[in-house]
Amino acid sequence: MRSGPTIKDIARAVGVTPATVSYVLSQNPRQSISAQTRQKVLEAARELGYVPNGAAKVLRNAPSYCVGVAIEKELMLSRFSMVLQGIRDRLEGEGYNLMLCSFGQRHGIYPDYINNTLERRIDGVIFMGKDNTGPTPEAEELIARYHLPFVLYDCGYTGRPYSTVELDYEQAGFDMADSMLAGGARRLLYLRPDADNYQEQQREAGVRRALAARPDVTLQVMCTDTTRDMVRYTPQDRLGLGIELKADEGVARFLAGQVIPALAEFAPHDGVITSWGVYAPLLYSLLAQAGKSLQIGALSDMLVSGMLQGRIKVCRMPGYQAGVECARLLLARLAGDETPQTRTLPMPLGNPAMYF
Amino acid sequence: MRSGPTIKDIARAVGVTPATVSYVLSQNPRQSISAQTRQKVLEAARELGYVPNGAAKVLRNAPSYCVGVAIEKELMLSRFSMVLQGIRDRLEGEGYNLMLCSFGQRHGIYPDYINNTLERRIDGVIFMGKDNTGPTPEAEELIARYHLPFVLYDCGYTGRPYSTVELDYEQAGFDMADSMLAGGARRLLYLRPDADNYQEQQREAGVRRALAARPDVTLQVMCTDTTRDMVRYTPQDRLGLGIELKADEGVARFLAGQVIPALAEFAPHDGVITSWGVYAPLLYSLLAQAGKSLQIGALSDMLVSGMLQGRIKVCRMPGYQAGVECARLLLARLAGDETPQTRTLPMPLGNPAMYF
DNA sequence: CTGAAAGCGCTTACAG
DNA sequence: CTGAAAGCGCTTACAG
């Protein structure tokens, strides 16, 4: 199919050896070339439409100038696409392309994101698991053994030998609860999924910290049963109509049957904080139907429609910034800096955004 | 940094030549290998943690098993991320990775998506412009000259030498107008941007076709001045808080000042069709404020919140399917099929989806 | 300043 | 069934 001109062709056209052409084209500083030869080589290269063969360069140990981004599946979740955009914006300026890597074993015996590094198709990896999953233990061993440049996003820091970017879930919980106290709340309901992971622990800890100094305020915690009361994806998900909320099942039933009754005594200044964003609009609708108005806040802004401006407070996922930060830490690794760094980003309290 | 074992190391360990190792590992069918040797080679490979050097393979003309996706900037627009997900799902099953390519000139003298193909870092390109832009004329020439596998998404077909996936904007306009007629509309306002591109022409043509048989229904067309009345992005866009709508300026002023007055005579069964999705929620809010209810439809579902279920009809962008289709057409090219194909996908009428 | 040569890691006709 | 050898396109010490 494609078999363009090589440095040999240029060399022949100009009447020099391939080595000379290479020196000119790669601007090797350890080799001086006469202005005239340089001129002729560059001209011939342009004329022939020369494009260097990337594979040959990489074979000679050049970097691939490509960075892998390991995202398991859901590029459509703005949680991930925002980060991706941040990574891209930061890395493109440095001349890097991005390669989307999966978690499965594609060609080799290792997960795709490791295999591509080992095959030298990418120079490093930014890893975004979901539900707190980091790389497999086997992958971690290879990362350590080969010193693979690796950055982990939002997995809960646990002293790994690579850089991580984390979000300050604890502070988010604190800020939201604190703002509700400032709004006059005397009762607070905290609604969280039963999943007992790093993020959920941190969030609840933050909420409790805000309440520690206020024994006059009651806190009630309710857990959704995520094995049963999930927000459901419809079959259309994968059929081209986007991911869709089946709000009338699962969680909605739990909210209507359990949560709303628990709010019976709540006064207008009291508040509900939901851990996941998706719970908040559902709750808002149900409360509105019941003719009830409370402070509502969500510790994530994912799935909180911008149309709820002023009705629901959210802690915003700083996805784009996080992506930029991941890129920055990876660049440090690529530049040879081996010391793992951790950056923890705030999740500022604000209004839900209108995402495109 | 990384310098793992090569076939030479395996050969030495087993006591055969590198050629034999290669035959075993690549399962070359033109060469039979004794079961015993094969066994030993495979064992040694596993033991040493052998991973083939991708660059060396590509240098020998193997495909890179990587496909470029050219998206100019906005990965956060679900319009693009849905397509990307579709492409990925289809192509990952075939063993391909995706590389995000930009439009700028990164390393070479050609646009990034062309250069990466010429450098053999990717085997082909799926191109998603925005605002109808296709590849540059220079890029088109290279695509033709080198027969680069290339698929164009949603640019308006104009007889190019490569495959394209289009959306049926004309039918969308027809279906929406038709549904409003079925809903009893006697007056219709069609609100479109002044941009005179393929999509807008098709959409209006569709609306007019639906009205052709109904001389009793009046159609009024209004154009937004996109050079002046744009939906504005706030500076936060690139600062990590997502893309945000500045609804109180630009278009909103035009809608309030020009469009709402034009609807003074409209009765409840009459309707407004907006070309862009983003106009519809704004219009809905303004009408609601004015205590007015009309049929509202948008010819795209981008930016139409799922909270408007039942209030606004939309034509859905079949982004995921389109991605799958792009992947399918590219696979055909990669398999050697040179005949350009065009697929035109329907944009089914429905409710706005709750996008994650 | 320029050229001849080796080598990166792999594959594949070809000869045994 | 196995091995010796050439070559993909480039870079880079090294000798002139």
3-state secondary structure chain B: CCCCCCHHHHHHHHCCCHHHHHHHHHCCCCCCCCHHHHHHHHHHHHHHCCCCCHHHHHHCCCCCCEEEEEECCCCCCHHHHHHHHHHHHHHHCCCCEEEEECCCCCCCCCCHHHHHHHCCCCCEEEEECCCCCCCCHHHHHHHHHCCCCEEEECCCCCCCCCEEEEECHHHHHHHHHHHHHHCCCCEEEEEEECCCCHHHHHHHHHHHHHHHCCCCCEEEEEEECCCCCCCEECHHHHHCCCCCEECCCCHHHHHHHHHHHHCCCCCCCCEEEECCCCHHHHHHHHHHHCCCCCEEEECCCCCCCHHHCCCEEEECCCHHHHHHHHHHHHHHHHCCCCCCCEEEECCCEECCCCCC
pLDDT at A81: 87
Would the pLDDT of B149 be above 90?
Answer: yes
Q: How confident is the model at residue A251 (pLDDT cuts 50, 70, 90)?
A: confident
Measure CA to C1' and name the residue nearest D5: B19
Chain B partners of A281 at a C-beta cutoff of 8 Å? 307
Please answer whether residues A305 and A281 qualify as being in contact, where contact means their C-beta atoms are separated by less than 8 angstroms. yes
pLDDT at B12: 87
Q: How confident is the model at residue A314 (pLDDT cuts 50, 70, 90)?
A: very high
Q: CA at B29, C1' at D5: how many angstroms apart?
A: 21
Q: CA at A12, C1' at C1: how many angstroms apart?
A: 19
The reply to whether A183 has its C-beta less than 7 Å from any atom of strand D is: no
Residue written as tokens 């990952």? B92
Please answer whether residues A326 and A153 qualify as being in contact, where contact means their C-beta atoms are separated by less than 8 angstroms. yes
Kind of pairing, strands B97-101 and A97-101?
A: antiparallel
Element (H, E) at A149: none
Q: Which of B26, B51, B349 to mutate to test the interface with A (most CBs of A within 10 A)?
A: B51
- Convert A224-249 to b/e letters by CB count within 10 Å (16 or more is b): beeeebebbeeeebeebbbbbbebee
Model confidence, pTM: 0.91
Residue written as tokens 């990418």? A122
Give B105's contacts (C-beta < 8 A, 6+ positions apart): B111, B112, B115
Would the pLDDT of A134 be above 80?
Answer: yes
CA distance B12 to chain A (A): 21
pLDDT at A231: 59
Chain A partners of B239 at a C-beta cutoff of 8 Å? 320-321
Residue type for B252, please? A
pLDDT digits (tens, 9 = 90+) for A316-331: 999 899 999 999 999 9
Chain B contact present for A288, CB below 8 A: no
- Rounded mean pLDDT, A256-262: 93
Q: What span, in angstroms and rounded, lies between the C-alpha atoms of B280 and A82? A: 25
Q: How confident is the model at residue B17 (pLDDT cuts 50, 70, 90)?
A: confident
The sign of the torsion formed by the CA atoms of B261, B262, B267, B271 equals negative
Paired tokens of A122: 């990418």
Give B87's contacts (C-beta < 8 A, 6+ positions apart): B67, B69, B98, B126, B323, B324, B326, B327
Kind of pairing, strands A163-167 and A342-345?
A: parallel
pLDDT digits (tens, 9 = 90+) for B253-285: 889 899 999 999 999 999 999 999 888 988 998
CA distance B220 to chain A (A): 29
Chain B partners of A1 at a C-beta cutoff of 8 Å? 146-148
Would the pLDDT of A52 be above 80?
Answer: yes
Kindly report the average pLDDT of chain B as a whole number: 87
Residue type for A137, please? P
Would the pLDDT of B320 be above 50?
Answer: yes
Please answer whether residues A168 and A347 qualify as being in contact, where contact means their C-beta atoms are separated by less than 8 angstroms. yes
- Rounded mean pLDDT, A74-103: 91
Which nucleotides of chain C does any protein CB come within 7 A of? 1-5, 7-14
* Pick from A64, A115, A354: CB nearest B51: A115
Our measurement of the distance from residue B296's CA atom to the centroid of its chain's CA atoms, rounded to an integer in Å, reads 26
Kind of pairing, strands B342-345 and B163-167?
A: parallel
Please answer whether residues B64 and B98 qualify as being in contact, where contact means their C-beta atoms are separated by less than 8 angstroms. no
Q: What span, in angstroms and rounded, lies between the C-alpha atoms of A261 and A189? A: 12
Chain A contact present for B273, CB below 8 A: no
Chain A partners of B97 at a C-beta cutoff of 8 Å? 99-101, 106, 112, 116, 121
Give A152's contacts (C-beta < 8 A, 6+ positions apart): A127, A129, A134, A135, A160, A162, A163, A164, A165
The sign of the torsion formed by the CA atoms of A15, A21, A27, A30 equals negative
Taking the C1' atom of every nucleotide in all shown strands and the CA of A32, the nearest one is: C1
pLDDT digits (tens, 9 = 90+) for A67-83: 999 998 778 777 888 89
Please answer whether residues B307 and B71 qualify as being in contact, where contact means their C-beta atoms are separated by less than 8 angstroms. no
Q: How confident is the model at residue A243 (pLDDT cuts 50, 70, 90)?
A: very low
Number of Cβ atoms within 10 Å of the Cβ of A19 = 12
- Rounded mean pLDDT, B58-78: 89
Q: Could you tell me which chain B residue has the CA closest to the CA of A67?
A: B99
Chain B contact present for A144, CB below 8 A: no
3-state secondary structure of A344: strand
Residue written as tokens 């936060």? B236
CA distance B86 to chain A (A): 8
Number of Cβ atoms within 10 Å of the Cβ of B146 = 17
Q: What span, in angstroms and rounded, lies between the C-alpha atoms of B267 and B255? A: 18
pLDDT at A249: 63
pLDDT at A2: 56
* Start-end of H helices in chain A: 7-14, 18-26, 35-48, 54-59, 78-92, 112-118, 137-145, 169-182, 198-212, 251-254, 260-262, 279-289, 319-334
Distances (CA, A) of A265 to A246, A271, A294: 29, 11, 11
Share of chain B above pLDDT 90, in %: 52
Chain B partners of A354 at a C-beta cutoff of 8 Å? 243-245, 247, 303
Our measurement of the distance from residue B120's CA atom to the centroid of its chain's CA atoms, rounded to an integer in Å, reads 23
Q: What span, in angstroms and rounded, lies between the C-alpha atoms of A206 and A212? A: 10
Would the pLDDT of A245 be above 70?
Answer: no
Q: What span, in angstroms and rounded, lies between the C-alpha atoms of B92 and A14? A: 44
Chain B contact present for A335, CB below 8 A: no
Measure CA to C1' and name the residue nearest D2: B20
Would the pLDDT of B96 be above 50?
Answer: yes
| SS3 labels along B224-286 | ECCCCCCCEECHHHHHCCCCCEECCCCHHHHHHHHHHHHCCCCCCCCEEEECCCCHHHHHHHH
Instruction: Give chain A's domains with CATH numbers.
Output: 7-50 (1.10.260.40), 61-167+319-347 (3.40.50.2300), 169-315 (3.40.50.2300)
Q: How confident is the model at residue A85 (pLDDT cuts 50, 70, 90)?
A: very high
B244:A354 CB<8 A: yes
Paired tokens of A284: 């808002």
Give B23's contacts (C-beta < 8 A, 6+ positions apart): B31, B33
The reply to whether B213 has its C-beta less than 7 Å from any atom of strand D is: no
Chain B contact present for A8, CB below 8 A: no
CA distance B116 to chain A (A): 8
pLDDT at A354: 62
Residue type for A56, please? A
A97:B116 CB<8 A: yes
Residue type for A111, please? P
Instruction: Find the distance separating the first CA and the last CA of chain A, reported in whole Å.
Output: 40
Please answer whether residues A58 and A64 qualify as being in contact, where contact means their C-beta atoms are separated by less than 8 angstroms. yes
Query: Nearest 5°: phi and psi at B314?
Result: -135, 155
